[in-house]
Every structure is written in structure tokens, then in C-alpha cells.
Chain A
Amino acid sequence: MCDQTFMAATFGPCDSCGKASPLMNIYIKSEAINYCSFCVEMMACQQLQKGETLQSLKKESDSLKKKLEEERGKLNDVELHQVAEKVEVLSSLSIKTRRVLKGHGNKVLCVDWCKDKRRLVSSSQDGKAIVWDAFTLNKVSEISLSVFYFDSNAQNGLDNKCSVVPLSLDKNENLAAKKKSVAMHTNYVSGCTFTNSDMQLLTSSGDGTCALWDVESGQLLQSFHGHTADVLSLDLAPSETGNTFVSGGCDMKANVWDMRSGQNIQSFESHESDINCVRYYPSGDAFASASDDATCRFYDLRADREVAVYQKDSVIFGASSVDFSLSGRLLFAGYNDYTINVWDVLKGTRVSILFGHENRVSRVRVSPDGTALCSASWDNTLRIWA
């Protein structure tokens, strides 16, 4: 399918898709717009009505957003830090590095705890996934894959696929042979999580969608459309009915989805840059997000709004990952300036800052029983803090 040739007077970002390409300068109702040829075709065939331009749609979207903020504001009778004034101030925590796991040959990108509270699985850009007994620092097994990101036992690959590898305690088993390819996206897979069993897998991708897969058959069960840029992270809700999840992406939005219907039930847009990570509060009534705008934010699902922003003047690098402590009182956030900041969720203040890593912190995870925090970093190591 080749472009018609046309006289290109300018070259630059298309008003519609943003890609740098030769632009057609056209006029709609004497409003000049610059679209690449593909977008001109799209507009002609599909979505824009006559007289609609990008500018007019943007105006409509902005005014709706304003109305929405007003609606949300009506029930906003008090702020979180005000309510939290009666809560005791936290005494200073002495959290230190208790273990350093060395063994990866390149950036460690992802880590997750096993249910036994002491084993971890980590993946690295060196193409290996290692299962560690973090307590004894032993490597239980090493799996070679084109691994990039993963959760529990599933690994996301640079080849846009997500594979499930069964892990067993038998050292001699050739685990890579049992690897099963489950998910397939049209762009990189950024995050994945098992739903409450090992039978279904939720994935998020650079192609802007999330998807639910059946592990056994590899079949796509449900897909979730609504993000308008790469989706970077997702988390499953710990609620009683266990049917929703939240995702965050480069469109600065955090969306809550119903797993069964595929519908986007709630959306939050208050970050000023890409959202790198989303994580539910332990009760399931709220979630936190970490973003390149150097803030972490706390969103209340029942009040349907952002209720806290965790930021500090001296924190200027993007946050890559967040996780809550067991009680939900502390929020651990890993940043691109190699540090981990510990925030008091209720009061909005920073409790502590953890130094130690020598390059970006790519992921932080609290252990299932809340006894320790694990951080993975681009300095090729993992650290256990307690």
C-alpha cells in the first residue's frame, strides 16, 4: 500500500498521529491543519465528521474534563492529609540492606516473590531469569530466555511474546524445555500477572492494549482497548469479587478495567508524564502510581479521584516502581536516581530515603508476608531491605 505522491512543503510532526513525516497542508473550514497522508485518508474515510477538526475535538474533550473535575470536586469535603492529622507520626524507620543478590550479567529489570516468602524470580537484560533463595543467596535455577519483564512464573519477551515456565524444586529439570508461549502482542510486552490461579494470564503491551489469556490453550480470552499509547504496567485488584485490574501507560492515564466485559470502568488522568507502574492498596479500594514526572500519586476508587501526591522538590527523577507495605501505611517507590523513597501514605510525607544501588531502580516488591522489600536495579544486582 503505497502513498500517493504529493508536493510536500513541510516536514514535521503530524497534527494527528504525531509521527514525523512529510505533511499535507490542508484546510478545513479555513482552519489550516497539517496531517501526514495516512491521517488524511483516515480522516476522510472514518472518524471525523465534516467540520470536525482535531482542535474542535480537543476543545470538546477539555470542556468535558473540566466538568468531570467539577463533579468529582463536589463530594470532596476533606483532604487525606487533613484526615490523617489525628494519626500518629511515624517514628523513624531503620531500614537497611540485608542481602545483595549478585549474579546477573546485565540490568535487572524485573523481580517478583514466590508465595513461600523467601524465593524470588528475577529477569535481566542478559537474557536470563534466575530463581533465588534470597535468604541464603543461593541460585535455585537459571533459565535462558529472551526475557525482558515478568511476574511470578511468566516471562515477557523482546519477541512480543509472553511465556509461562513451570518452576519446580527439582534442580535437574530442564525448565526452558517446558516453556510454553502464551501471549502474543504486536509490540513489546511490558507487564504480566497471573490471575488468581495459574490458568489465566493478564498482559500489558507497548501496542497500547491489555489482554487476558488462557494458559492451557494460549487463547486470547479478552482484550482491553482504551489506552492511546504504550501500556507500561498493570496490577490485579485484591477485592472480594476479584474481577478488576488497573493499568497505566504513556498516555498518562491509569485505567481500571472489568476483566469479564473488557470495559474501561474508571479512568484517572492527573499525572504529567508516563505512568511507569501501578499498584493496588491492600484493601483494593485505591491504588498508587509511579511516573516520570517524579511523583507518585494515590487514587481513591470509591471517591473516583486522586487523593494524594507524593513529591518533594529534591526528588526530580522519574519513579519507576511502587509497592505498599503490608498495612498500606508505607509506600516504597524506586526512582531513576538510584534511590528508594519511603512515603507515609496517609500523611503524604517522606519517611525515609534508601541509598545503595549504583544505577536506576527498575522494580520494588514487598514480600508476601511483608517482612522485606526487594529492589531490582540496572546495576545488575538485587537488594533485600528490612
Chain B
Amino acid sequence: MTINTMAKGGWQREQTICFRKMEKMIVAMQDPDMGMKLRNQRLLITVIPHAMTGHDIIIWLIHKYSVCEEEALHLGGMLVKYGYIYPLKEPRSLVLQPDESPYRFQTPYFWTSTRWPASELDYAIYLAKKNIRKQGELMEYEKERYSLLHKKINHTWDFVVMQAREQLRASKQRRKADRIVLECQEQAYWLINRPPPGVHNMLDVGLERQNNFNLRATLVSIEVHRRALGRNRVKSSICLEGFLKYSEQYQNHDPIMQGCLPSNPWISDDTAHWTMNTEMVPVPTRLRVERWSFSFMELLNDAMGRQEFMLYLEKEFSAENLYFWQACEEIRHGESSKIVEKVEEVYKNFLAPGAARWVNIDSKTMDKTLEGIKQPHRFVLDDAQMHIYFLMKKVCFCKLREKDHTNISANSLQHLIMFVFPFMRRQRHSSPSPAQAVAQATEEEGRHKGAG
């Protein structure tokens, strides 16, 4: 007498997709030409038809999906865990053994996707059947659940017992092999829908995802597509080259791919790598300095890089730009309550005529900014900040990198290090760690080569 309503919205979507894919796999496994070879398996004294061994399953998966044995075992294991294949020996444990243990395909009638949700009534009938069939065949946890159900749906208990008896009577008329198969099938089904304590629930999908607005979705899509049609795009070949270059540039800096010096702390249990790369060290590693030359953002994001850049700017009498940029960052990311006073400060120090650290912004941006300051908000200095950022990038940073663009990166890096970061020259004699010893050695070499 239940109304056949649509299943709960989103959360079942995920399971449905998985089940369909597993079912496709199962169907392929049973394909008469490309599928598995099924044969009769002997279970004690009975012969069970259409069975296969765990080993067969793994071999088939290895061939079909070109995977290694470990992966095939894992994949096959998932098929068993979800009840699409069940074991004949040790039927209580839904595990795939890579040996001669016999397995069978679950009948579609019992597929989770076909019969979900499994009702209490069905479970009660199943437990009742087990109980009647052989007294004491129920496991402890099943006994507990049985008595709980007895209390809960007591009003239908006559129906439960009657159904159980009828089903048992009908099954007695079958051949023994069929009976065993049916029992195993049903048991596998319930192992998934009512997992024993300690076994995790395969049907658990986590947080429920409810919302889906069809009409709204369509209206929003129309608007978004219309806007997207007017977009400017860049040619694929250009964009994709960008990814190649980036990955190549950073490859040596990727510890998981290339390892790191002196060793990866997680592998060797030696924290030297971290000690050498803490935020402020007396001498930064060669790799770290190299990374500063990759992009202006890398330089600014590293506290030491920023410090060295500041020193350089001070030599060139243009440090006010970096101070201004830093002050703007503080406003953008800082506390809302302090915005007004910080903007005041910035105006006084950087923008007001005759300011101590006056920054050179083009007149249009300056006018706009000064106008905006009258009503200070978090992003009021954005335009000015961006102007100064790109100014520093183009004029100072890029010029540094271009100084030796004719040579390959190793030499130009030396150049960069020596011109911009004179502290590296100072450290020539001490070499506290292998990474820096390498840097010193090649530096010496480089300079000799350069001179000669």
C-alpha cells in the first residue's frame, strides 16, 4: 500500500551512476564470447553450475582493462563488496580471494539498484526463514535484530511468519543445488543492505544533496551562455604551450617528482630540508633563489625575496613603490575596522603632494584614486596598487631577468644572483650544507667561465 514516490533527490544519483557502471562490467563478464568461462564448481557434495574462481575473475579483469594484478584484485573486490558477485565458500565474507575459491554472479533480482530500499518487513521475513530453517543458525547480531524487529513490527508478525514458512516450503521443492544458490544470493543481498557490526555500510553516501531547481537552472543557463558568447578567447596552441612551459620550469622544484635536497623529510625522517628553507635563513638555497626569477609574484611571495628586492629598490631610489604596494595589500586583506585609518596613512605617506614617499602614478589613475579616497573602502586603492605592481614588474624585475637573456638560465642566474643579491657573494667561504656547496661550486665555475 505504499505510494511509489520518486526516490530522494540528489544523494541517490551518485550510487545510481556507480551501480550502472558496475552492472555494465558484470554484463560484459557474462558475455558468451568475450566473457568469463563459467563451469561447475563442487561445493562439498553438491555441484553448483555457472561458477567461476576468484583467480578467473582477476585474470579477466587484467586482460579487459589492462591493469596490474593489484588493481584487478581491488576492482574485483569492489564488485564483491557491492554484491554483484558473491562467494560460495565462506558466504558471510564479501571478499575476493585470488585463488580457486568459487564465486557466482548475483541475480539481477537481488541487485541493490533493483530492490533498494530494503524494507524492515523483507528483512524480518529473511531472518524468520533462517531461524525456522535451522534453529540457532542466526548469528548473535542477527538474533538481536530479529528480536528488535519483533518488537517494532509486532502487528505484522503473523504475516512475517506465514511468508517465511511459505517461502521455505516452496524452496524445499527445488533441487539442492538451486536451493544453496538461492540461499547464498539472498544472504549476499542482506549482507549489503544490513551489514553486520564492524563492516562498513557500502550504501552510505555521506551528506545528502538535495537541491535542484529545474526552471531556475534553465533561465540561468540562458543568461550565462549569452554572456559567454561575447567572451574573448585565446588560441589553444598558445594556452597549452603555457602549461608545458610552467611544468618544465617548476619540475626541479617539485619534490614528489624530482626529490629534494638533501632529502625528502617524509622519506628520510631528516628535517634538514625544512631547516634550510625556513622563512628567514642566513643563506637561501640555490633553488629558492632560482624560483624568485620565475615570476614577480614568486619573488614577492617569498619573505626573503621581497627583502632582497627591497634592498635593490633602495639602491635604485625607488623603494617607495614596494612600500606602497605592501601598504595597499594590508588594506585589501586587513581588518575592516582599520580601513579608514589605513587609507588615511597611505594618502599621507604616498599620495599627498610633497609626501615623503610619493609614488609615481599616472594622472588619470591618481585622480580616480583621490576621488575614491573620499569614501574609503577595501578596494579603493586597487587601481593605483595594480599600476605600481606592473610598474615594478616591468621596469625593475623584468630588466633584471633580461640582463643576460642570450645565455642559458644557469649563467643568467649567476648574473642575477651577483648583481641583485650581493649577499651571495659574501658567503663564498662558508658552506653549511650540500645544497649551498653546490651553489658555491657552480658559482665559482660560472665566474671563471664568464671571465675567461
Q: Which residues of A contact B (CB under 8 A)?
A: 11-20, 39, 42-43, 47-48, 54, 57-58, 60-61, 64-65, 67-68, 71-72, 75-80, 83-84, 86-87, 90, 93, 95, 98-99, 107, 117-118, 135, 148, 187-188, 190, 195-197, 199-200, 206-208, 214, 216-217, 219, 226, 228-230, 232, 240-241, 250-251, 260, 264, 266-267, 269, 273-274, 281-283, 285-286, 292-294, 300, 302-305, 307, 312-314, 316-318, 325-330, 336-339, 345-346, 353, 355, 359, 366, 369-373, 378, 384, 386
Contact = CB atoms under 8 A, between A and B. Distances in A.
Contacts of A107: 206
Interface stretch (B5-13, B41-49, B52-60, B164-172): B5-13
B406 interface: no
Contacts of A79: 236, 240
A42 B206 CA distance: 32
A230 B5 contact: no
B141 interface: no
B250 A65 contact: no
Contacts of B375: none
A75 B235 contact: yes
A228 B209 CA distance: 12
A329 B213 contact: no
B254 A326 contact: yes
A264 B240 contact: no
B18 A226 contact: no
B243 to A, nearest CB: 6
A196 B218 contact: no
Interface in B199-230: 200, 206-207, 209-222, 224-226, 228-229
A221 B209 CA distance: 26
A250 B10 contact: yes
A346 B244 contact: yes
Interface in B386-409: 386, 389
9 contacts: A57-B218, A61-B221, A75-B234, A78-B240, A206-B210, A216-B335, A217-B337, A240-B297, A273-B14
A235 B224 CA distance: 21
B256 A371 contact: yes
A372 B209 contact: no
Nearest to A74: B233
Contacts of A373: 256
B21 interface: yes
Most chain B CB within a 10 A radius of its CB, from A228, A294, A337 = A228
A325 B218 CA distance: 37
Interface residues of B, number: 88
Nearest to B241: A83
Interface stretch (B113-121, B124-132, B190-198, B260-268): B260-268
Given A65-B221, A71-B229, A230 B237 contact: no
Given A274-B13, A316-B25, A78 B222 contact: no
A262 B240 CA distance: 29
Given A304-B228, A373-B256, 8 more contacts: A57-B222, A65-B225, A196-B329, A199-B333, A206-B210, A228-B216, A229-B209, A240-B389
B339 to A, nearest CB: 10
Contacts of B65: 312-314
Nearest to B213: A228
B217 A355 contact: no
B218 A58 contact: yes
Given A240-B297, A303-B234, A18 B221 contact: no
Nearest to B221: A61
B345 interface: no
B274 interface: yes
Contacts of B238: 302
Contacts of B236: 75-79, 300, 303, 305, 307
Contact of A18 (B9, B209, B222, B267): B9
B240 A300 contact: yes
A195 B209 contact: no
B451 interface: no
A327 B251 contact: yes
A259 B396 CA distance: 30
A325 B277 contact: no
A117 B276 CA distance: 13
Contacts of B337: 216-217
A273 B222 CA distance: 20
A107 B274 CA distance: 31
B220 A228 contact: yes
A227 B302 CA distance: 36
Interface stretch (B71-79, B423-431, B432-440): B71-79
A229 B13 contact: no
Contacts of B108: none
Contact of B215 (A39, A266, A328, A369): A39
Contact of B256 (A17, A281, A314, A326): A326
Contacts of A264: 224
Given A228-B213, A230-B10, A285-B239, A386 B244 contact: no
A278 B63 CA distance: 33
Contacts of A187: 210-211
A11 B266 contact: no
Contact of B257 (A11, A84, A327, A359): A327
A369 B255 contact: yes
A269 B224 CA distance: 11
Contacts of A87: 244, 247-248
A61 B225 CA distance: 8
B185 to A, nearest CB: 23
Contacts of A370: 253-256
Contacts of B214: 14-18, 54
